[in-house]
Amino acid sequence: MLEIQKIRQDAQPFIDGLKNRNIKDAAEKIEQLLTLDQNRRDSITELEQLRNTMNQSSKSIGKLMKEGKKEEAEAVKSELASSKERIKDLEQEVQTIESSTYDLLTTLPNIPHPSVPLGKDASDNAVISQNDIQVTFNFTPKPHWDLALEHDIIDWKLGVKLTGSGFPVYKGKGAILQRALINFFLTKAREAGYTEIMPPLMINEASGFGTGQLPDKEGQMYEVQLDGFYLIPTAEVPITNLYREDILNQEDLPIKNCGYTPCFRREAGSYGKDVKGLNRLHQFDKVELVQVTLPDHSYDTLEKMTSYVESLLTALELPFRRLLLCTGDATFTSAKTYDLEVWSAGQEMWLEVSSVSNFETFQANRLKLRYRDENNKTQLLHTLNGSALALPRIVAALLENNQQADGSILIPEVLRPYTGFDRIGETI
| Residues of the shown chain interacting with RNA in the complex, contacts defined by CB under 7 A | 5, 41-42, 44-45, 47-49, 51-52, 54-59, 61-63, 65-66, 77, 80, 84, 247, 370, 372, 376, 378
Cβ proximity of 350 and 226 under 8 Å: no
User: Minimum distance between the CB of residue 15 and RNA, rounded to whole angstroms?
Assistant: 20
Cα separation, 323 vs 165, whole angstroms: 30
The 8 Å CB, 24+ separation contacts for 179-183 are 179/418, 180/415, 180/418, 180/419, 180/420, 181/285, 181/389, 181/391, 181/394, 181/395, 181/415, 181/418, 182/260, 182/285, 182/287, 182/391, 183/418
| Cβ 57 to RNA shortest distance, Å | 6
* C-alpha of 64 from chain center: 58
Name the pairing type of β-strands 223-224 and 202-203. Answer: unpaired
Closest among 385, 314, 383 to 356, alpha carbons compared = 385
Q: Which residue lies nearer to RNA by CB, 77 or 321?
A: 77
CB 252, min distance to RNA, A: 14
Tell me the closest approach of the beta carbon of residue 295 to RNA, in angstroms.
15
Distances in Å between the Cα of 243 and the Cα atoms of 204, 227, 369, 396 are 15, 23, 6, 35
Closer to RNA by CB, 13 or 62: give it.
62
Backbone angles phi, psi at 9, to 5 degrees: -65, -45
DSSP of 80-100: HHHHHHHHHHHHHHHHHHHHH
In sequence order, the β-bridge partners of residue 169 are 155
The nearest distance, CB 243 to RNA, in angstroms, is: 15
Can you tell me the distance from the alpha carbon of 305 to that of 378, in angstroms, rounded to the nearest whole number? 26
Evaluate whether 35 touches 141 at the Cβ level (below 8 Å): no
State how far the Cα of 187 lies from the Cα of 387, in Å rounded to an integer. 15
Please name the residue ranges forming H helices in 261-332: 298-315
Nearer to RNA by C-beta: 41 or 120?
41
Minimum gap (Å) between residue 34 Cβ and RNA: 12
Q: How far is the CB of 224 from RNA (least distance, A)?
A: 12
The residue (of 49 and 163) whose beta carbon lies closer to RNA is 49
Comparing CB distances to RNA, the nearer of 205 and 267 is: 205
Nearer to RNA by Cβ, of 114 and 200: the residue is 200
SS3 percent helix, strand, coil of the chain, rounded to 5, is 45, 20, 35
Three-state DSSP class for 107? coil
Considering the complex, state which of residue 55 and residue 107 has its C-beta at the smaller distance from RNA. Answer: 55
Q: At what angle do helices 144-151 and 173-191 cross, to 10 degrees?
A: 120
Nearer to RNA, 6 or 217 (CB): 6
- Pick between residue 89 and residue 348 the one whose CB is nearest to RNA: 89
Task: Please state the closest distance from residue 30 (CB atom) to RNA, in A.
Answer: 16
Closest CB 85 distance from RNA, rounded Å: 11
